[in-house]
Amino acid sequence: MSEIFGMRISRKEALKELIKKIHKGEDPEVLKRQFKQMFGSVTPTEIAQIEEELIKEGLPREEVMKLCEVHLAVFQESLEKGPEGGPGNPITILMEEHKALLEFADKLKNIIEQMRNIKDYEEGKEKLSELQDIVNHFKESEKHYLREENVLFPYLEKHGITEPPAIMWMDHDKIRAIKKDIYKLMDTFKNISPEEFIRKIALLSTDLSEMLSSHFYKENNILFPMALHVLSEDELKDIRLQFDEIGYCCFTPPSVLTPVEKTEEKESEKKEGMINLPTGSFTLEELEALLNTLPVDITFVDKNDEVRYFSETKDRIFVRTKAVIGRKVQQCHPQKSVHIVEKIVNEFKKGTKDHADFWINLNGRLILIRYFAVRDKNGNYLGTLEVTQDITDIKKIEGEKRLLDWE
């Protein structure tokens, strides 16, 4: 128990009160001294749990994100021990990529500084090439953030840790916005003077460097230690395997990519009474509704050339009836086009082709008809999937639409 504000309260409540005082704008140096006197040390998990509670109590997530820097300043000495993971550990991989990205951010600033006095782009051609190489590394770094957002964060959420990942994702979007401005400037720099280009790229590179430094510090000292604390060895192994599926950056050190063996799905992980697939499960009702909701019509023909399934979408383009189930696909087409069907199926079976595309005009609409070879994990032919879609309105799409326009 701790004495704070004249009353005895729990360690967690005391930490919460300290963070509230940070929120009120009290002097961080004074709060640092109070923290040392009261606690001496604090774990990343404790800070994350407290922030979760503060958000649930009504403190906006954006405010907590702004406060993270001050939190870290107050708790810095207690936190700066760094998580311990070995080669092959997904957390180790992320931290090594952090180091590389910070180095790239420094190189970016150094190259720009060396370009300060160039008079024209021809004079700075060599440095511009170096600059583009660094920018390409930042483009490649998108895989780093995708692995965190699509693998690490969901695993943490399963352990009830929801707010820290959400705050880190907000940081990711800020990083992406800065990088997007850099990419745009690099694509159009010849439209402005060298002086204006250097001024703009210098400001952006500083913003990026500061954002990365701040963000990586928070992840390295709060999010990652917390992950290693709550995640089991089996979970870390699963995370690593899913990292492998997304892939790594060109600058990810090979030394940390120690291979891990893939394990078979445990029977206990399969849901009883469900259709269990490697990436999830459905009830029969859900699967049927999902297939019928797809914005395309699909038909599956098995390896024996027999029609096995068709979806029943609301506005099917071509008529399908249950009478065709079990019928040879060659018998489902007029004689004049059977030779085309035969050629497609035969090439799919031989493995020489994987898809065939056609498009026709039907009642004033443009219809795209695609055929795909369906194969198992070993490449063995299982059948053919026909996908039909009305693309008339899709072809009219231009620009971007990022906002919901529902009334």
Q: Please report which helix (H) or strand (E) contains residue 46, including its range.
A: helix 44-56
How many CA atoms are closer than 13 Å to the CA of 406, on its beta-carbon side?
1
Q: In this structure, are residues 31 and 74 in contact, taking their beta carbons and an 8 Å threshold?
A: yes
Whether 221 shows a pLDDT value over 70: the answer reads yes
Return the structure tokens found at 260: 């891990």
| pLDDT score for 74 | 52
Q: In this structure, are residues 344 and 353 in contact, taking their beta carbons and an 8 Å threshold?
A: yes
Burial of 330 (0-12, 13-18, 19+ CB in 10 A): middle
Q: Using one digit for the tens of pLDDT, what is the confidence trace for 148-189?
A: 999 999 999 999 888 889 889 999 999 999 999 999 999 998
Selected residue with higher pLDDT from 105 and 73: 105
How many CA atoms are closer than 13 Å to the CA of 230, on its beta-carbon side?
21
How far is C-alpha 245 from the geometric centre of its chain's CA atoms? 12
Q: Please report which helix (H) or strand (E) contains residue 66, including its range.
A: helix 61-79
Distance CA 130, CA 151 (A): 33
Phi then psi for residue 198, to 5 deg, are -60, -40
**Angle formed by the axes of helices 233-246 and 90-114, nearest 10°:** 40
Return the structure tokens found at 94: 């992320």
What number is the average pLDDT over the span 270-281? 86
| pLDDT score for 278 | 85
Distance CA 142, CA 50 (A): 30
Question: What pTM was computed for the model?
Answer: 0.71
| pLDDT score for 58 | 74
Give 404's contacts (C-beta < 8 A, 6+ positions apart): none
| pLDDT score for 6 | 34
Whether 15 shows a pLDDT value over 70: the answer reads no
Phi then psi for residue 365, to 5 deg, are -115, 150
Whether 3 shows a pLDDT value over 60: the answer reads no
| pLDDT score for 1 | 34
| pLDDT score for 2 | 38
Selected residue with higher pLDDT from 234 and 56: 234
| pLDDT score for 83 | 57
Coil, strand or helix: which one is 256?
A: helix
Q: In this structure, are residues 50 and 19 in contact, taking their beta carbons and an 8 Å threshold?
A: yes
- Could you tell me the fold of the domain covering 90-256? Four Helix Bundle (Hemerythrin (Met), subunit A) (1.20.120)
Q: Using one digit for the tens of pLDDT, what is the confidence trace for 325-357?
A: 999 998 888 888 889 999 999 999 999 999 999
Return the structure tokens found at 19: 């963070």
Whether 34 shows a pLDDT value over 90: the answer reads no
Distance CA 366, CA 359 (A): 7
Selected residue with higher pLDDT from 256 and 58: 256
Task: Give the start-to-end residue ranges of the domains of the chain.
Answer: 2-79, 90-256, 277-395
Q: What's the one-letter identity of residue 378? A: N
Longest dimension (CA), the chain: 92
Q: Please report which helix (H) or strand (E) contains residue 389, including its range.
A: strand 381-390
What number is the average pLDDT over the span 109-123? 89
| pLDDT score for 218 | 86
Q: Using one digit for the tens of pLDDT, what is the confidence trace for 125-137?
A: 899 999 999 999 9
What is the average pLDDT value for the chain, to the nearest integer?
Answer: 85
- Could you tell me the fold of the domain covering 277-395? Beta-Lactamase (3.30.450)
| pLDDT score for 281 | 92
- Closest Cα partner for 199 from 104, 101, 115? 115
What number is the average pLDDT over the span 53-67? 68
Whether 303 shows a pLDDT value over 60: the answer reads yes
| pLDDT score for 52 | 72
Return the structure tokens found at 407: 């009334």
How far is C-alpha 328 from the geometric centre of its chain's CA atoms? 43
Return the structure tokens found at 377: 């994990």
Q: Using one digit for the tens of pLDDT, what is the confidence trace for 372-406?
A: 999 999 999 999 999 999 999 999 999 999 888 88
Q: Do domains 90-256 and 277-395 have the same CATH topology?
A: no
What number is the average pLDDT over the span 295-314? 95
